[in-house]
Amino acid sequence: MEKLTVVKVGGAVVEDEAQLMQLLSDFAAIEGRKVLVHGGGRRATQVASQLGIESRMVNGRRITDGAMLGVVTMVYGGLVNKNIVARLQATGVNALGLTGADMNVMHAHRRPLKDGIDYGFVGDVDEADGQRLATLIEAGIVPVMAPLTHDGQGHMLNTNADTIASETAKALARHYDVTLIFSFEKRGVLSRPDDDNSVIPVITRADYARYKADGTVSGGMLPKLDNAFDAIAAGVKAVNITLATAIDGHHGTMIVEA
C-alpha cells in the first residue's frame, strides 16, 4: 500500500505564528499522501471571551452548550481551518478544509452524561469514512480536518482534535500504510513535565499502563496516548508524538504495541 501521513497540530501551535508557519512548511515538504488535523481551543476561548461567553472546562474537556457550539463552529470550521487552508495553498498544497459533516466523513453521537457531567454538544465518534477521504486524496487533494463532527440529525458536535486525528488515521489504514504524528509544543512524552529534555523515546502498551499507574503521564497526555494506542490496534503502522517543528518521524516519542 502507498504511504500516507496524518499530522495533528495542537491549538497552542496554531496560536503561535512562527511555529505554525514552520509546521505548515514542513508539512508541505512531506512526500506522498497526507492529511492535516488541527485544534484551536485557545482561539475559541479568546473569541468566546470577546463575545461575553464563559468557557467551562472539566478534566481538560470543554463544556459545549448552544452558545459555545456556535463559537467553536465559527472558530474551528471557519477562522482557523480556512486560514490554514489558505496558507497551505500558498505553499503549493491543494488543501480542502473539512468538518465531519462535510461529505459525511465523520459521524458521531452526543456524549451521554458522564459522572453526572453534561458536556453538551460534544461528540464521540461512531464512524469515519476512509473511502470518501481516499477519493479526495487520490484526486490530489489534501484534507484539512477541523475538530467538529455531526450527529446526522442536523447538529454539529465539538470533538477532541486528537480523536479526530486518530479516527481519520484508523479509517485510512484500510487504504494506505498510515503514519500518525501528534505534533504540539513539547518534544514528546516527558518523564518529567518540567524538563523538556526528558523525552521518553518509545512507549509500549505495558509501559503506558505503568506510567499511568505511577503518575509519570497524566492530564491531557492521557487521551493523546489512548488515541495513539487505539490507532495502533486498528492497523495504523506508526504513531509519533513530537515537537511541532520536528515532524519528520525521527524525533519525539514513538508509540508501539510491544
| pLDDT tens track for 158-211 | 999 999 999 999 999 999 999 999 998 899 999 998 899 999 999 999 999 999
For residue 4, being part of any structural domain is answered with: no
157 and 214 co-located in one domain: no
Confidence of residue 61 (pLDDT cuts 50, 70, 90): confident
Residues 69 and 142 in one domain: yes
What value, to the nearest 5°, has the Cα angle with vertex 41 and ends 35 and 43? 105
Does residue 189 belong to any structural domain of this protein?
Answer: yes
The answer to the question of residue 2 being in a domain is no
Percent of the chain with pLDDT over 90: 85
> Average pLDDT, stretch 59-82?
94
Q: Taking 80 as the threshold, does the pLDDT of residue 59 lie above it?
A: no
**pLDDT in the model for residue 219:** 82
Assess whether 82 and 200 both reside in one domain.
Answer: no
Instruction: Identify the CATH number of the domain in which residue 64 sits.
Output: 3.40.1160.10
Domain with 256, as residue range(s), is 179-258
- Asked if residue 1 is part of any domain, the answer here is no
Q: Which residues does 169 contact at the CB level (< 8 Å), separation at least 6?
A: 6, 178, 180, 231, 236
pTM, 2 dp = 0.94
* Whether residue 139 is found in the same domain as residue 252: no
Task: State the angle between helix axes of 161-172 and 221-233 in degrees (0 to 180), rounded to the nearest 10.
Answer: 10
Do 134 and 201 fall within a single domain? no
Where a domain ends, among 176, 207, 242? 176
What is the arithmetic mean of pLDDT over 22-40? 96
